[in-house]
Structure 1
Amino acid sequence: MKRVIDNFGKNLWVLILLLSMAFVNVSCDDDDDDEAGNEEPMPVETMTITDIAAGNTDFSILVAALQKVGLDDDLASESGEFTVFAPTNAAFADLLEELGASGLDDISNDVLTSVLLYHVVSGSKMASMIETGYYNSLSAGPMDGYGLSFYVDMATGTINGRAMITATDIKADNGVIHVIDKVILPMSITDHAIANPAFSSLVAGVVKAELAGALDDDAATFTVFAPTNDAFDMFFTDMGITLDDLSKETLSSVILYHAIGAFVPASMVEAGYFPTLSTAFERNISVKVDTDGGVMLNADSEVVATDVVATNGIIHAINKVIMPPGIVDIAMDNSNFSILVQAVVKAELVDALSGDDPLTVFAPTNAAFEELFAAINVTGIDDLTKEDLTPILLAHVVSGNVASTDLSNGNVPTLNDQKMIAINVDSGVSIDGTINVVAADIQGKNGIVHVIDKVIVP
């Protein structure tokens, strides 16, 4: 028995040795084949977004649409990554019926390209990475570099309040696909407000003011600072009113005061005064923008979300409703006029400057007042009486809404019966020879303000 075991052991070692030599020989042969190039490497199979769509019969219309406009190759490229919200055949059938089209050939390539790219986001975003909010698609907006936005509500699983996300995380080599049951369409400013439930109060106001058509116009471009529902609730509470208490005309003026007639993304917002679409005396009422520590409007309303890109403009959300300002409001909203405000309050001229009759105010800055204080040897407003201040302040006010372009050389009467001011427009605008207008045409609802660098002394 021991001999049998010994012989078995010897035979086993011989067998292992032979197998090892055979493995080495085969490996060497494989290496020789590879070095000689006699055998081709196995092809690596790709699965791009286009490949996955083409392999699924439920995406046949989507694939046909991509091929029609030449986007199939773009979504087959592995040089970038994309997230595609892919409409099914049923979704496209619903769209064609909605448009009254018999097929894709009834839709122009430009329109179809815009719609298809509206379903594509740069980067690979799995479902766990998508939060409720706005996403910028690859569909071109009104300005280069700003793709049209769509709104995803993860609480309901919908996009733009229109399409339901029915399947997620179909992974491709160059991104990911999520399936939706409706084709989403690029939206105007009005459409965006309707699609986001946080703007329902704004939508109600726009409808009552009959402005939906104006803000839906693709022939114009707007920037809208859109108050949220909370902003409107605060506004109505502070005013002690409801939406029903506002006339169409008042509501229209307020809503248009939140819009500017240009495309201004967050990266281009600058400090200063800008004309809104709300008007007074056939001029656009100004809104004050501050950019220190965030963007503020009229020193009170904060921009809390930016760059929702629509087909006809861009939306920034704000946390307070802003009202068209009067002359006194313009001064109060600008810290450079704080001494002027103190003077107007002490002279009890607030009501006189808040009436309906148009006025033009040449407003001295704080630096201008401080120069006056030094010249007359006082420390500030507290050293001057109401009787001291009233004739000085009234010398800065002219009847009428007089824009800088309406000024001409000559003497102009002020609300101080004893004081005429000498206007010269030969090189800029100057008053009494030594006072310069350093900023002009800040339009309010009851008049216009021009900023000056010295106090007018009667």
Structure 2
Amino acid sequence: MKKVSFKLMMILLMGVFVMASCSDDENDDDDVMVEESNTIVDVAAGNPDFSILVEALQSTGLDDALANEGASFTVFAPTNDAFASLLNELGVSSLEDIPSETLTSVLLYHVLSGEATASQVESGYYSTLSDGPQEGYTLSMYINMEDVMINNRAGIIDTDILADNGVIHVIDQVILPMSITGHAVANEGFSSLAAAVTKANLADALDSDEVTYTVFAPVNSAFEALLTNLGVTLDDLTADDLTPILLYHVVDGFVPAADVASGYVPTLSSAQGRQASLQVTVGDGVALNSSSNVVVTDVVATNGIIHAIDEVVTPPSVVDIALDNSDFSTLVDALVRADLVDALSGEGPFTVFAPTNAAFDDLFSALEVTGVDDIDVATLTNVLLSHVVSGNVASTDLSNGSVPTLYSEKSIEINVDNGVVIDGQINVVLADVQGTNGIVHVIDQVIVP
């Protein structure tokens, strides 16, 4: 009996051991660890002070995008107090009162592509994920790390909250996409420009989203140099003084750096009933009127794009147009030798048919001389005045016929049947470069009386 009981006990124990082993195997399967997600959205959802942000992300469907573990983001995350302040500023009671499209744009304006910890963030402009006014370009934000501010609006109050797909920096205000005027106001480096725009009553025009502009924005040092050269202060200049200068820095449409090309472009500054021309030269960098350099490009605003420049450019006279273009250096030498610079810098208006350096070289070869110094002043004066017509005559206003020049013994024969041709053989190769006191048409030969 004892032997039977002992065998039975052994069998039972073995059964228990086998069952326990099987159970352990099953438990091992159940205990396989599933790695927890810790995306930016997870981190925000785990912090009660980001509950409104999470609600906003969910309502716009951006939560899935920011939970993408295959991407990397830097998020400037507004606190609940920041959102409460925004709602109060907008005069609305909840996020539901903000159109979804607008809220999406605002939220994406807080997101940069790629992970940038606090030590990697420097003062400057950053492209957000919020769409700009032209496809392929996103809105810019300005971060000032000296003041630890974004757009001179939101303070960065905590940094480097790491997630699996990026990093979060906490801010105390919701940042809003900015217009051209908004960018000028937000960056202390443009404070002189902002003051001038305000004094000229142009702030509203450059704030409007109904039009799109490209602005070449002078930095403060550029304005300081201009005022010093003029011997005045900003207070000494009236709105009428400032308006043509400021509008000379504005071009219609959205022109990013990649699309900038050498040539003349019409600005919004009025001259002789037309738009004053701005010369753009693309080489190692971009220069305006041969003296002002583009130092920062592609600051994208809601209504256009800004390129910062290091010198204020002013609307040119016909003489300035020649001075600013190296291809007219021989013409300038001739004007100086003939003492015509002051005359053609006068009130005008003048229409100038301007020969290129190559045109003068051909003339010198034909005359078997080396340059303007080999031509007597009286002859040179008559030649130059043969290139000038009274009035501001655009190419579209030219017609077939004889036109008197400022040299009383020379009229030029104009033919517009196939382009603009002078005296049967001289071609206008570039037309309608508009100055303050007249207009310039570039020609490929020198007009000889």
Secondary structure at 2:77 match in 1: strand
What corresponds to 2:397 in structure 1? 406
Within the candidate set 431, 435, 447, 2:426 is matched to 435
User: Could you tell which deviates more after superposition, 40-49 or 151-160?
Assistant: 40-49
- For residues 401 and 60 of structure 1, what CA distance do their matches in structure 2 show? 65
Q: Which structure 2 residues correspond to residues 292-371 of structure 1 after superposition, within 5 A? A: 292-371=283-362
Q: Which structure 2 residues correspond to residues 205-244 of structure 1 after superposition, within 5 A? A: 205-244=196-235
Secondary structure at 1:72 match in 2: helix
Question: What amino acid sits opposite 2:207 in the alignment?
Answer: D
Q: Which structure 2 residues correspond to residues 89-168 of structure 1 after superposition, within 5 A? A: 89-168=80-159
- For residues 407 and 238 of structure 2, what CA distance do their matches in structure 1 show? 37
Alpha-carbon RMSD across the aligned residues, in angstroms, is 1.5
| Displacement after TM superposition at 1:250 (Å) | 1.8
Question: What amino acid sits opposite 2:345 in the alignment?
Answer: S
| Displacement after TM superposition at 1:334 (Å) | 0.5
| Displacement after TM superposition at 1:145 (Å) | 1.6
Question: What amino acid sits opposite 2:380 in the alignment?
Answer: L
- For residues 386 and 208 of structure 1, what CA distance do their matches in structure 2 show? 47
Q: Which structure 2 residues correspond to residues 49-128 of structure 1 after superposition, within 5 A? A: 49-128=40-119
- For residues 410 and 40 of structure 1, what CA distance do their matches in structure 2 show? 97
Q: Deviations over 1:134-163 (max 9, x none)?
A: 111000001112111111111111111110
| Displacement after TM superposition at 1:244 (Å) | 2.0
What corresponds to 2:263 in structure 1? 272
Question: Relative to structure 1, is the Cα distance of residues 419 and 204 closer, same or farther in structure 2, using a 3 angstrom cutoff?
Answer: same
| Displacement after TM superposition at 1:281 (Å) | 1.6
With normalisation by structure 1, the TM-score equals: 0.91
Question: What amino acid sits opposite 1:119 in the alignment?
Answer: H
- For residues 207 and 71 of structure 2, what CA distance do their matches in structure 1 show? 34
Secondary structure at 1:286 match in 2: strand
Q: Deviations over 1:301-333 (max 9, x none)?
A: 011111111000111111111110000000000
| Displacement after TM superposition at 1:63 (Å) | 0.7
| Displacement after TM superposition at 1:56 (Å) | 1.1
- For residues 291 and 230 of structure 2, what CA distance do their matches in structure 1 show? 16
**Which stretches in structure 2 are left out of the alignment for 5+ residues?**
1-20
Q: Deviations over 1:342-363 (max 9, x none)?
A: 0011111111111112110000
- For residues 379 and 224 of structure 1, what CA distance do their matches in structure 2 show? 43
- For residues 161 and 238 of structure 2, what CA distance do their matches in structure 1 show? 52
- For residues 25 and 255 of structure 2, what CA distance do their matches in structure 1 show? 64
- For residues 29 and 190 of structure 2, what CA distance do their matches in structure 1 show? 68
Secondary structure at 1:426 match in 2: coil
Question: What amino acid sits opposite 1:427 in the alignment?
Answer: N
Question: What amino acid sits opposite 2:99 in the alignment?
Answer: S
Question: What amino acid sits opposite 2:401 in the alignment?
Answer: G
Question: What amino acid sits opposite 2:256 in the alignment?
Answer: P
- For residues 245 and 410 of structure 1, what CA distance do their matches in structure 2 show? 48
What corresponds to 2:8 in structure 1? none
- For residues 175 and 38 of structure 1, what CA distance do their matches in structure 2 show? 32
Question: What amino acid sits opposite 2:393 in the alignment?
Answer: V
- For residues 208 and 161 of structure 2, what CA distance do their matches in structure 1 show? 37
User: What percent identity do the matched residue pairs reach?
Assistant: 63
What corresponds to 2:386 in structure 1? 395
Secondary structure at 1:437 match in 2: strand
Secondary structure at 1:149 match in 2: strand
Q: Deviations over 1:93-133 (max 9, x none)?
A: 00000000011111001100000000000000000000011
- For residues 229 and 336 of structure 1, what CA distance do their matches in structure 2 show? 31
With normalisation by structure 2, the TM-score equals: 0.93
User: Could you tell which deviates more after superposition, 237-246 or 439-448?
Assistant: 237-246
Secondary structure at 1:199 match in 2: helix
- For residues 363 and 258 of structure 2, what CA distance do their matches in structure 1 show? 39
What corresponds to 2:367 in structure 1? 376
- Number of residue pairs matched by the alignment: 427
**Which stretches in structure 1 are left out of the alignment for 5+ residues?**
1-28
- For residues 294 and 105 of structure 1, what CA distance do their matches in structure 2 show? 47
